[in-house]
Amino acid sequence: MSQTFIEILRRALDEELARDPSVYLLGEDVAVGGAFGVTKGLAGKYGERRVRNTPISEAAITGLATGAALCGLRPVLEIMFIDFATLSLDCLVNQTAKYRYMSGGQLAVPMVVRTQAGAAGGAAAQHSQSLEAWFIHVPGLVVVAPSSPAEAYGLLKSSIRLGDPVLFVEHKRLYAQKETLVESAGLPAIGKARVARAGSDVTLITYSAMVRSALEAADELGRSGISVEVLDLRTLLPLDMNTIADSVAKTHRVVIAHEAVLHGGAGAEIAARVGHELFDELDAPVTRVGCPFAPIPFALELERALLPGTANIVRAVRELSS
Amino acid sequence: MWDNSLNKAAAPTLGDWKLMLRALWRIRVFEGQVQRLAAAGEVPGFPHLSTGQEAVAVGVCAHLNREDTLFTSHRGHGHTLAKGSDLQATFAEILGRDAGLCRGRGGSMHLVDAANGMLGATGVVGGNLPLAAGAAWAAQAGGGSAISVVFFGDGATGAGVFHETLNLAVLWKLPLLFVCENNGYAEFTSREEHSNVKHVSAFAAPYGMPARTIDGNDLVTVHAAAADAIARLRSGGGPYLLECMTYRMAGHFVGDAQQYRSKEELAALQEKCPIERLKRYLLERGVAEAELLGIGEEARQEVLRAVEGARAGARPDPATVLDYVYSAPSLAAIPG
């Protein structure tokens, strides 16, 4: 039976709540389902002590989840939009990420911050950003960005069980996407990328909703004889350089694509590492696709004009292959 | 060491007060040694001394058990010792030694002693408040009578997260004791210049939280007020705010010339000294002056031994600098 991204997230949370009594959900409106209905019905099933509504106080609830994690709970905190995680940053950067280190290994922060990002449908400048690059700059954090419902299921469960603080970034454009779970599939390891489509001419490195655009681009390019290997990073921090290296050893060409602003984006770090660590393998400069340097606009034609997509990727790969 | 083996259920005996006098002295001498070695260049970073504020730490922590959790501010050496942390391991951490509480990763502003429920100092003013609320939430979820205590200065009331945490603590009826050490200064600026609200306790009422303002330099007063507040917390009565009026006898940090204070103000400090005041209390109850002096001297010797032990300890091995970033080495494979 196929389920939406939202339904599959709910199923993963439901199963983890049932499996481990130290798992708690908290966030704005989560007891009534949250802004997108991900946690719908869970408060009724597990009680409002385990699925708990909070005031609109991102700084305090991020600290609250962190303090509870220090004391043995495994909180899953929902920050409604990644744009609002700016209010959580003091805690995430100065406390959550550093507690294990600052305490010399005495304490750990096994918590997940589920948040929702990306542009769609005119959500405009303060509800559409892709801010993941800010978080990959912070030692101690783990940053996960699933690309499909089935991927989100396993990655969320693995994140909850990890024992380190995880920022789990859900793209709003994926929420209505449907997929059928393969019941026997094991849980993915955190920190391992996935070959979403095998190919031999160009390595296309991407994550989150951009994986879908990359697969469409690969289909189109395949019809004109360019074989593209699509890597779904799954985890931006840590970065799985081994999977990248294996692919580049075959293709010798790299395109990196993300929806986030190109300048200072996660792709810059990946490009730097590929350029340095895999220099001998490269037959061409590393190319990046990302958002132009502007806020996300409101009007739909402006939003479409700004966002990178399949056409941008196709163009970048063709230029690299010519 | 301060074993905190006081009779917590009843009024303190003379013996309990003597133990607490010793605890005050241990903090006073400890801070003096931090100051001395900082001036000599042996203490890295920015140590903040709690000299003069000892009665708040001892009067509150006297009621705490090991499983009660404590979070403190950047001025947290005294609270750490009062909660029961080992003198030598605490001093070693402030010196950045391998045998320090945090193996030299934290230092003065990030002391953690998890085994004693001292879950952390913080360098970000106000940042400890929601963490303490989280610990209180975990205690509440555990269903026992453990509580969480957070120490903060009056300067933290300027941070939005202070107000967010007050609201949350009341809404969730958390077993959380807010202890404000109002020393009249937020770093170098007097309270009058940074807030129109004279007393921090006034912030509690709008959220429906009980609060009191007390003389934080009088151990007997602090002890009694903390007893009432903590009894309420342990019986499920929800959070409480205790504002302790105190005085920072040292500067904001070691080396602060304190040009913002008058000579008269500094001279009046001796009158307010919590150690002198507890001594007077005990003299009035028939304890001999020689015994009181002996308690101070014993504490001094104990601290000096710990300091020398800490100084003799090994420095951390630079090869271990990447330990403790993540739970597993596979996650830490990020190039430096």
Q: Is A144 helix (H, G, I), strand (E, B) or coil?
A: strand
Please determine, for residue B134, whether its predicted confidence score (pLDDT) is greater than 90.
yes
Tokens matching residue B283: 């003299």
| Residue among B104, B110, B164 whose CB faces A60 most closely | B164
Q: Is A258 helix (H, G, I), strand (E, B) or coil?
A: strand
Phi, psi of B189 (to 5 degrees): -110, 130
Q: Which residue of A has its CA nearest to B335?
A: A273
Q: What is the mean pLDDT of residues A50-59?
A: 97
Residues forming beta bridges with residue A76, ordered by sequence position: A25, A112
- Catalytically active residues of A, by annotation: 127
Q: Are B4 and B64 in contact (CB under 8 A)?
A: yes
Q: Give the span between the Cα atoms of A219 and A215, in whole angstroms.
A: 6
What is the pTM for the complete model shown? Answer: 0.95
Residues 6+ apart with CB under 8 A from A294: A306
pLDDT-based confidence at B247, cuts 50/70/90? confident
| Residue among A49, A60, A164 whose CB faces B326 most closely | A164
Q: Is B282 helix (H, G, I), strand (E, B) or coil?
A: helix
pLDDT at residue number B254: 58
DSSP, res B66 = T
Q: What is the mean pLDDT of residues B187-193?
A: 70
Q: Give the span between the Cα atoms of A100 and B99, in whole angstroms.
A: 17
Convert the pLDDT of each residue in B146-161 to its tens digit: 999 999 999 999 999 9
Q: Are B51 and B250 in contact (CB under 8 A)?
A: yes
| Residue among A94, A95, A238 whose CB faces B331 most closely | A238
pLDDT-based confidence at B6, cuts 50/70/90? low
pLDDT at residue number B332: 67
> Pick the residue with more confidence: B169 or B332?
B169
Residues of chain A above pLDDT 70, percent: 100
| Smallest Cα distance from B318 to chain A, Å | 14
Q: Are A105 and B113 in contact (CB under 8 A)?
A: no
pLDDT-based confidence at B2, cuts 50/70/90? very low
Between A and B, how many CB-CB pairs are < 8 A? Answer: 165
Query: ω into residue A238 within 30 of 0, thus cis?
Result: yes
pLDDT-based confidence at B335, cuts 50/70/90? very low
Q: What is the mean pLDDT of residues A116-144?
A: 97
User: Which of A43-47, B18-22, B259-263 is least confident?
Assistant: B259-263
Inter-chain CB proximity B164 and A95 less than 8 Å? no
User: Which of A43-52, B65-74, B256-265 is least confident?
Assistant: B256-265
Inter-chain CB proximity A94 and B105 less than 8 Å? no
ipTM metric: 0.96
Convert the pLDDT of each residue in A236-294 to its tens digit: 999 999 999 999 999 999 999 999 999 999 999 999 999 999 999 999 999 999 999 99
Q: Give the span between the Cα atoms of A182 and B193, in whole angstroms.
A: 64
- Top residue of A46, A77, A87, A106 to mutate, by most chain B CBs within 10 Å, is A106
Q: List Cα–Cα distances, B140 to A71, A76, B70, B177, in angstroms.
A: 11, 17, 15, 13
Give contacts of B335 with chain A, Cβ < 8 Å: 273
Q: Sign of torsion, CA A209 A7 A303 A260? A: negative
pLDDT at residue number B194: 82
| Smallest Cα distance from B331 to chain A, Å | 6
pLDDT-based confidence at B334, cuts 50/70/90? low
Q: DSSP states of B91-104 as a string?
A: HHHHHT-TTSTTTT
Residues of chain A above pLDDT 90, percent: 98
Give contacts of B110 with chain A, Cβ < 8 Å: 102-103
User: Which of A42-46, B236-240, B252-256 is least confident?
Assistant: B252-256
Please determine, for residue A65, whether its predicted confidence score (pLDDT) is greater than 90.
yes
Q: Give the span between the Cα atoms of A122 and A102, in whole angstroms.
A: 42
Please determine, for residue B336, whether its predicted confidence score (pLDDT) is greater than 80.
no
Inter-chain CB proximity A63 and B160 less than 8 Å? no
Tokens matching residue A118: 């990306």
Per the listing, tokens 């205690």 go with B139
pLDDT at residue number B1: 36
Q: Are B105 and B324 in contact (CB under 8 A)?
A: yes
Tell me the domain boundaries of chain B: 16-266+285-311
| Smallest Cα distance from B217 to chain A, Å | 30
Q: Give the span between the Cα atoms of B270 and B251, in whole angstroms.
A: 15
DSSP, res A91 = I
Segments of chain A assigned E as strands: 2-4, 23-27, 51-53, 74-79, 112-117, 142-144, 166-171, 178-180, 194-197, 202-206, 228-232, 235-237, 254-261, 287-291
For residue B296, count other CB atoms closer than 10 A to its CB. Answer: 18
Pick among 1.10.3720.10, 1.50.10.10, 3.40.109.10, 3.40.50.970: CATH of B16-266+285-311: 3.40.50.970
* Residues comprising chain B, all counted: 336
Q: DSSP states of A98-117 as a string?
A: GHHHHTTTS-----EEEEEE
What structural domains and CATH numbers belong to chain A? Answer: 2-180 (3.40.50.970), 194-321 (3.40.50.920)
Q: Are A111 and A75 in contact (CB under 8 A)?
A: yes
